[in-house]
Amino acid sequence: MALITKAVKGTQDTLPTVSYKNQFVEETMMRIAHNFGFHEIRTPVFEHTELFQRGVGDTTDVVQKEMYTFEDKGGRSITLRPEGTAGAVRAFLEHGLFNEAMPQKVSYLTSCYRYEKPQAGRLREFHQFGVECFGAAAPGADAELIGLAQSIFDALEIEDLSLEINSIGCPTCRKQYHAALKAYFKVRETELCDTCRERLEKNPMRILDCKSPVCSAIAADAPVVLDYLCDECRTHFDAVQAHLDAMMIPYSINPRIVRGLDYYTRTVFEFVSDSIGAQGTVCGGGRYDGLVEELGGPHTPSLGFALGIERLLLVMHSQGIEFPEPDPCTLYIATMGERAAREASSIAQSLRGEDYRVECDICDRSLKAQMKYAGKLGARFTLVLGDDEIDKGVYALKNMKTGTSTQIAADDFIEEFMETADLDTETHLREMFGLGGDN
């Protein structure tokens, strides 16, 4: 049978056999963010195009080449979000969160869309975990954000990630740096790609981020931004490093980091892996003190980062990190006949309400087929129900690990099953962690 269509190029399905890995990673990230005082925000998957043109920057590759933009039925230009920060800032302003106590800390799990050449770790629909902190100017906020990312990697037992930091200054000191870059690149302007020749006048720092081998080679000897920092930016950057040293978070200074979005100021950072090829940046972020003001709000020093979930999973797999297996089926109820099917539905509904994973046959299969399915589910306990069991009012609960059966009166089944299942879980945990019976 021929399929009508397949998934769009650059997108992928996350099937139940692997989705538990995503859930584990996402739950870990949100839990740790909560410990740092961040609370979830959810924004629309599409926004007015001008939000990204103004916020992300019209000289970036994202805006110039990669956005999914279309005109809606009202003639408005709409864009699928290419990143999470601009939408979070828009929501911060639209709902007046700048009137609340500062800092305002938000976190999110979101899908993003960029028209890029699909490859490992780079899809056209990809997913990010992100955090944004509004209203924090102190360098300790920069270090805290980096500490949050480091805590996530530690919790997931990820090793061999390198933290690289830089400062790209503020608008004041960046003017001098831009002038130095223009003078440097002007000499070799004809060798630059068409895009970088356009950037030369608008935003020469973008040339440093160009992926063209020729432009990259020319940029290798370009002036370094750290040589042009004003006293305030230098003091801020030194203080960030002092905080990281106090937190015992190792880092290196990479003066070539500029990030791919125009809104960054001062501190920028990346966590980089060498185990997933060219797409080595797993997490990136920094400070964007002027973005809120740029989008129509009051001056609000802010910062954030985004962590690519697909790339993170690639790193974890490359390092052989084991994921916790999803909880197996606690009880499978095999049935014979309509009366048994109704009783199974009743038992399952009651136990599910008590937070147990219970399944019963909904495919009208034979008893043999049901038991085979229970084995595939890895059911910890099974219960076979037929007319005889219902008439006698006694059910036989089987522990699939030990092979032992326990006779339980039908009227007491729910309560006794919960006690049995909980005791079995406790025993399993003690065995897993090597605990004695008195511990």
- In 3D, which of 124, 50, 110, 63 has the Cα closest to residue 262? 63
Determine the average pLDDT of the residues in 168-185: 91
d(CA 271, CA 150): 9
**Average pLDDT, integer, range 37-47:** 97
Q: Is the pLDDT of residue 434 over 70?
A: no
Range with the poorest average pLDDT among 39-43, 70-74, 431-435: 431-435
CA distance 340 to 348: 12
Average pLDDT value for residue range 238-250: 98
What pLDDT, on a 0 to 100 scale, did the predictor assign at position 234?
97
- Specify the range with the lowest mean pLDDT, choosing from 74-83, 104-113, 177-186, 337-346: 177-186
Please identify which residue in the block is written with the tokens 């006794």: 416
Predicted confidence at residue 278, as pLDDT, reads 63
155: closest CA among 389, 377, 312, 366? 312
Reduced DSSP (H G I as helix, E B as strand, rest coil) percent helix, strand, coil of the chain, to 5 = 45, 20, 35
* pLDDT on residue 118: 85
Q: Are 410 and 393 in contact (CB under 8 A)?
A: yes
The answer, yes or no, to whether residue 46 has pLDDT greater than 70, is yes
Please give the pLDDT value at position 352: 96
Cα–Cα distance, 314 to 322 (Å, whole number) = 13
**How confident is the model at residue 356, as a pLDDT?**
96
Q: Please write the tens of the pLDDT for every residue from 85-140.
A: 999 999 999 999 999 999 999 999 999 999 988 887 789 999 999 999 999 999 99
Question: pLDDT tens, 296-354?
Answer: 999 999 999 999 999 999 999 999 999 998 889 999 999 999 999 999 999 999 999 99
The mean pLDDT of 248-272, rounded to a whole number, is 89
pTM of the model: 0.88
Q: Where are the alpha helices (DSSP H) in 40-193?
A: 49-55, 61, 85-94, 139-155, 171-186
How many helices (H) and strands (E) the chain has is answered by 15, 16
Report which of 69, 90, 88 is spatially closest to residue 80, judged by C-alpha positions: 69
Query: What residue type is assigned to position 292 of the chain?
Result: V
Q: Is 13 helix (H, G, I), strand (E, B) or coil?
A: coil
Label residue 279 by pLDDT band (50, 70, 90).
Answer: low
The pLDDT score that the predictor gives to residue 135 is 97
pLDDT of residue 439: 45
Distance CA 207, CA 219 (A): 7
How many angstroms separate the CA atoms of 315 and 344, rounded?
44
Q: Between the CA of residue 237 and those of 150, 267, 438, what are the distances in Å?
A: 19, 7, 53
pLDDT for 433 beyond 50: no
Written in H, E and C, the secondary structure of 207-241 is HHHCCCHHHHHHHCCCCCHHHHCCHHHHHHHHHHH
DSSP per-residue codes, 235-302: HHHHHHHHHHHHTT---EE-TT---SSTT-EEEEEEEEESSSTT--EEEEEEE-TTHHHHTTS----E
Using CB atoms within 10 Å of the CB of residue 257, give its burial: 0 to 12 exposed, 13 to 18 middle, 19+ buried. Answer: buried
> Strand 46-48 relative to strand 77-80: parallel, antiparallel, unpaired?
antiparallel
Q: Where are the beta strands (DSSP E) in 298-388?
A: 302-308, 331-335, 358-360, 381-385
The Cβ of residue 316 has, within 10 Å, a number of other Cβ atoms equal to 20
| Element of type H or E holding 417 | helix 413-433
Domains defined for the chain, CATH in brackets: 16-170+230-318 (3.30.930.10), 331-426 (3.40.50.800)
Write down the pLDDT at residue 60. 76
Contact indicator for 71, 78 with CB cutoff of 8 Å: yes
Q: What is the mean pLDDT of residues 372-380?
A: 95
pLDDT of residue 179: 92
Query: By the 8 A CB rule, do 203 and 171 touch?
Result: no
Which backbone phi and psi does 203 adopt, to 5 degrees?
Answer: -160, 85
Q: Report, as an integer, the average pLDDT of 259-279.
A: 82
Distance CA 289, CA 285 (A): 13
Q: Are 332 and 142 in contact (CB under 8 A)?
A: no
197 exposure class (CB count in 10 Å sphere: 0-12, 13-18, 19+): middle
The predicted model gives 357-363 an average pLDDT of 96
At residue 429, the pLDDT reads: 45
pLDDT score recorded for residue 211: 80
The residue behind tokens 């003078």 is 183
* pLDDT at site 374: 96
Q: Are 85 and 55 in contact (CB under 8 A)?
A: yes
Looking at the chain, the whole-number percentage of residues with pLDDT higher than 90 is: 78
